[in-house]
Every structure is written in C-alpha cells, then in structure tokens.
Chains A and B, each alone.
Chain A
Amino acid sequence: MSAPLEKDGQEDGQKGGTVGAAVTASPTTASSTTASSTTASATAAPILAFDDVRVDYRGRSSTVSAVAGVSLELRAGETFGLVGESGCGKTTLSMAVMGLLPDRAQVSGEIRFRGEDLVTMPAGRRRRLRGDDVSMVFQDPATSLDATFPIGEQVAETIRAHRSVSRREARDRALQLLAEVGIPDPAARYSDPPHRLSGGMRQRVVIAAALANDPDLLLADEPTTALDVTIQAQILDLLAQLKQRHGMTMLLITHDLGVVAQICDRVGVMYAGQLVEVAPVDQLFAAPRHPYTRALLQALPSRAQRSGRLAVVEGQVPDLSEPPSGCRFKERCPHRMPVCDTTPAATPAGAGSVACWLETVDRATNVELAEQVGGAA
C-alpha cells in the first residue's frame, strides 16, 4: 500500500498509452457506456476466462477452500489487476492457470485460454503452453532463478524448450532479450550466476526468461513486492512497456493498490477466495461498490493520514478450512443482512460487476448506505 492515490494525474498519461496498445492489439467493436477510456476494449474476445473456478487444498484433517467460484474474463490486450490481501487466493488462481498447483490441490470449473479448457488439458500440451503462450513472473527474484546456472542460460533454455533452435541461436536471442529488459552489457553478464546481480537486475532476467517466446498472456505474481521502492517503479515501467511492445495481455497480481492505479486497466478484488468486485481502475477508485473494496480503499494510508490514524478493516479473515456459507466478507461487513448467508451472484454495476446482495436486494437503500460510508471517510 505504498503508492498514494495522489499519483493519479501522473499515471493517466501512461495509462492512455497502455490502452492504445490494447486497442491496436485487439480491435474493439464498440466502446462501453461509461466515459472512461480504459474500458475501450470492453467487448474484445476474452483471452482467458475463468468459469466458476474452485480450488480446494486437501489436507489430512481438513480441506482449505482457497478459491471459491471465481468467474472472470480477461480481454486480449488489457492489464488486469487482481488485488486482495495475503491468502485471498490470487496466487492460487494464477498457479491454477499455469497448472503448477501441488497435487493436493483440486481444481474444478473451467479455465479457458483462447477458448480451450486448461483444467482438463493433457499435461504434455499444457507444458508446451507454459513459457510459450502463457508465462509467469514470480514474486521474489532472489529465489526464482536457479542459483547454480548462468543467467543467460536460464533465458536460453526457455527458448530451447519450445523452439528447435541451435544453442547459438538461443544464445543470441537470449542476449537480445537481456538487452531488451535493460541488462547492461548482456554479453558480459551472460555467464554470471544470479547472485552476482542485484534484486532488480534478477527480476529483469526473470522477465526476459518469461518473455523469451513472446507469450500472449503474462501472469505477474507480485513482481515488485520483494524489491526496493525505486526499483519497483522501474520494473513496473518495464512491464508496462514490454506489454505494449509485445501486445500481451497481463494479469497482475498484487496487494498494492498503488501498483494497480499505476498500470492496470481493470481490477478484480478478491476476498477469502471470492471475487467480490471487478471494475475499470478509474471506477474502482472513484466509486467502489463492494463493502470490502470500500474498506480497502479507506485503509490506504494517504487517506487515513488526514485523521492521524490508520483506518483498518475490522475483524479477521475467516478460516478457509471452515469457510462461512454465502458471502465470506459478511462477518466483517457493516451491511450484513440475513440473505448474505447465500452466495451473491456477480451483478453488473457501471462498467464492472459486484458480488454483493446490496446490489440486488434494495438499490435505494444501497445508495443511502454508500453515501453514509463515503461521508464517514
């Protein structure tokens, strides 16, 4: 939660650029009803679609329901931010896309990449997709590279895993990639082991390896969390640039709303395994609808500083081995109603959607409540 919202003005220009790329990468047929330019690609074909995805981790004595019925579509060319606190299932969801969950994880529902279900896809075909059409960047560059291998080879091997090229060609391509991600003097660094590089440089190598085969979809799981603040900004810039240049779609997983504001087109908010709200970035920050989203935005330090105290979301995240029925936020929600014991469906709200009974049960009351909450802040 480091980047304050005041940065909004600065980011707008950058965001415009990103959207431009999205539009060229995926021709849009109509612009959506909202004024926001970030939703211009609203009707493009989804590149990735989650359909009622559930992930359960089976343990000896209990089963943890880490993802509980997430449905979501990613449009080709957009940068979609998935936010939520630790343990809300965002990483599990991305690992489910990659097919890298441990054996004890049970996935149900459909995850369709370009219309093809990944969950039921044979392992061999799925492997060939990984690192080629779909890539992933991990959180901590200190641990995501093999410490015993030269960095250049770790990029080159990704190419050789998917293309029948000679060692020489793979090396040349790897050198290009290292230069593209901003490694100074790649030829000299090619044979360096990872520990000779700084954290930011290592993350650049990780990104180079992930982009080696020009993927269509890049999953970035907290790609800047482990880095210094100044390096964070550089890496985010790099990701945004590369995304634009390669015409990729990016799923950015983060708990940092500042990062979301900086480079995302749309945002999904997860809480305890449920996707509670999806909205274009502007809409989410300007008019959050789900009570959890509101609480989250109010907890941003830049807002709370005015009152001298940090705002917090009262209560505890539920135990996911015995999740509450219905809405999982209900225990902490100021608007709890009896109907919250059944799971709310995602209902359209502006250019996004919200999974909350307030949306459907009583719209009039909802507006009132929203004003109350807004006024309190």
Chain B
Amino acid sequence: MTARLAYVGRRILLTIPVLIATSIFVFLLIRLVPGDPVQTMLGIRATPDNVATVRAQLGLDKPLPEQYWTWITGVLHGDLGQDFISHEPITSLLGVSLPITLELTVLAMLLAVLVGVPLGVLAAVKGRWTRRISGGFVVAAISIPEFWLGIMLVLLFTGVLHLLPPNGWVPITQDVGLNITYMILPVLALALGQTAYLLRTTRAAMLGTAGEPYVAFLHAKGLRTRTVIYLHMLRNASGPIVTVAGIQFGVLLGGAIVVENLFALPGVGRMVVGAISNRNYVVVQGGVLVIATLFILVNLLTDIVHGLLDPRVEEAVAR
C-alpha cells in the first residue's frame, strides 16, 4: 500500500515539470508564428500609432519573460486572458467548448475500448478466420482518415438512410436525446481508427502472454478458459493496452479538431482553428494549453492505472 502511494505521489510530482515545460512551449510557439496579431485585429488601415497603443494595452511591448510571467500567474489564478476580438474571457469560451470536446473524445474512447479490446481478445484466441477478418478490419480502419470517413458517414446516414442529422449541435442540458443524436456520427468517425489500434494492441499483447508458463499453470489448476483469458491473460496484457489507449487519447484530441470542424460542433478544436485564422492568439494559447494539459493528465491517469494493474510497475518506479 505504501509502495502504491509512493508510486502515485512520485508520478504526480513528475507531471509538474512537464506542465511547466508545456506552458512555456505553448507560449513561445504562438509567438513564433508569422503575422502580427494587432495588425490583423485593427485591419490594414490602422496607423502605426494605433498599433503601438493597442500593443501596449495588451502588454505585447514587454519582454517575453515578463509576458510569460503575467500570463502564467493569470493561468494559475484561473484567468486565461481575454479574447482580442469579442473581449470575452477565455475561461467562459472554454466553459462552453470544453465539455463538447470532452464528450466527443470520451465517448469515442469508450466506444473504442468497449469494441476494440474484446475484439482483440477474440482475434488472439479464436481461429484463423477471426484473425483474418480482424486483420483486414485493422488495416482498413487505420488507413481511413477521419474527415473522409466522416463525409461517408454523413452520406450514408443522412443522404441515404435519412436517420441522423448531417451536422450541428444541441446542448446536452437542453435535450439529452437530441444531443446524443448529433454526437453519433462524430463519435463514430473519431472512434473507428482508435478501435482498430486498440484491437491490434490487445491482440498482440494477448498473443504475447499466451505462451507464458503461468498460463499453462492456470489451465493446470483447472480454471475455466474464460477465467484464464479475461481475468489473468487480459490483466497481464493490460500494460500495452492501457498505455496505447492513453497515447491514443492524444490522437483523439487531435482528431477532434478535424471532426468538430466537419460536423460543426462548437468544441475546443473548432474554437482554436477559428482563432488561428484570426491570429487571435490568446484564444489559441488558452485552447492549446487546455488540450495539452488534458493529454498530460490522461497520461498520468494511464500510468496510475497501469501501476494498479501490475504491481511490478509500481515497485520498479518507487525504487
């Protein structure tokens, strides 16, 4: 138990420098992008004086370390800054868009895990045909890009079957059923590739455990095949599966940007893309920071789950 707490504690401490580095990176990256945000904001006819005034108002005339310090202390106090254009606080923009992105990615992840992992197990333990069909599915699903799949899904479910709306969004607080209806296609488009990755990882990890002597011993103890596979082999195979799922969550967040734009979902991805074309970099900065932090936290969670599933991991790190 103490080893477990030490592991979790150490893992959390390790996350702090990563978060700091990420914030610096996000801050600098946006400033390296060509184009003057103030000029873009004020339009072509703005005089240099105007530009200088606004620049001073925004604090952009100060040295970078000072700018960073002002920004990061704000962030730590829950203030991500203000939108240049609408003058709305970034936090209230995120208050609307972040739940949408989270709903989209979490549903896609759930779907991918609930479908990909069991199929991966089956592909590992069943006969040749299951293996071939799942192999074909994996290659196809990984190769298909989300935007193309999304369009095809819209064509099928809206154009041909008239079952689902092509795009749009209704807040979950307004109508849960309708909200889900709008979410189905984006989630499918996002989840397919992840399902395939998880299927492939699960299959490989399960095959890796199949030849282990402890599996033979479990059978020798007279355990049911089901117990051996789903309780023991899957738990031993869970390391790679959990790790890949965690990393793939980052890919999902990236994919969400494409999918949100395709299906007109007002999530963080859509917000950031819109902000980039306006050089609205306080919004970009806020959005990217939130997404990156989310990814880091998911990875933290991944490692903690991995440690819980395999006691060797905890002790190796805690030592």
Q: Which residues of A contact B (CB under 8 A)?
A: 95, 98, 100, 127-132, 135-136, 138-140, 143-149, 157-158, 161-162, 193, 195, 206, 209-210, 212-213
Contacts and interface: CB of A to CB of B under 8 A. Distances in A.
B214 A146 contact: yes
A212 B222 CA distance: 11
A147 B310 contact: yes
B315 interface: yes
B219 A100 contact: yes
Interface of B: 212-214, 216-225, 227, 232, 235-236, 309-312, 315
B311 A193 contact: yes
B241 to A, nearest CB: 13
Contact of A195 (B214, B221, B223, B312): B312
Nearest to B218: A146
State the main secondary structure of chain B at its contact with A. helix
B312 A162 contact: no
Given A144-B214, A147-B236, A131 B311 contact: no
Nearest to B222: A131
Contact of B312 (A130, A132, A147): A147
Contact of B214 (A100, A132, A147, A210): A147
A209 B218 CA distance: 10
A39 to B, nearest CB: 30
Contact of A98 (B220, B223, B312): B220
Given A145-B217, A146-B235, A148-B310, 18 more contacts: A130-B222, A131-B220, A131-B223, A136-B217, A138-B220, A143-B213, A143-B214, A146-B218, A147-B310, A148-B232, A148-B236, A149-B232, A157-B223, A158-B223, A161-B221, A161-B224, A193-B312, A210-B221
Contact of B222 (A127, A144, A145, A195): A127
A148 B235 CA distance: 7
B213 A144 contact: yes
A131 B221 CA distance: 4
B223 to A, nearest CB: 5
A140 B219 CA distance: 16
A131 B217 CA distance: 9
B297 to A, nearest CB: 25
Nearest to B236: A148
A132 B219 CA distance: 12
Which of B213, B217, B225, B312 is the most central at the interface, judged by chain A CB atoms within 10 Å of its CB? B217
B315 A195 contact: yes
A191 to B, nearest CB: 9
Which of B213, B221, B309 is the most central at the interface, judged by chain A CB atoms within 10 Å of its CB? B221
A130 B220 contact: yes
A144 B232 CA distance: 12
B216 A138 contact: yes
Contacts of A149: 232, 235
25 contacts: A100-B216, A100-B219, A100-B220, A127-B219, A127-B222, A130-B220, A131-B220, A132-B222, A135-B221, A136-B220, A138-B220, A143-B213, A145-B214, A146-B235, A147-B311, A148-B232, A148-B310, A148-B312, A158-B221, A158-B222, A158-B223, A161-B227, A195-B311, A195-B312, A210-B221
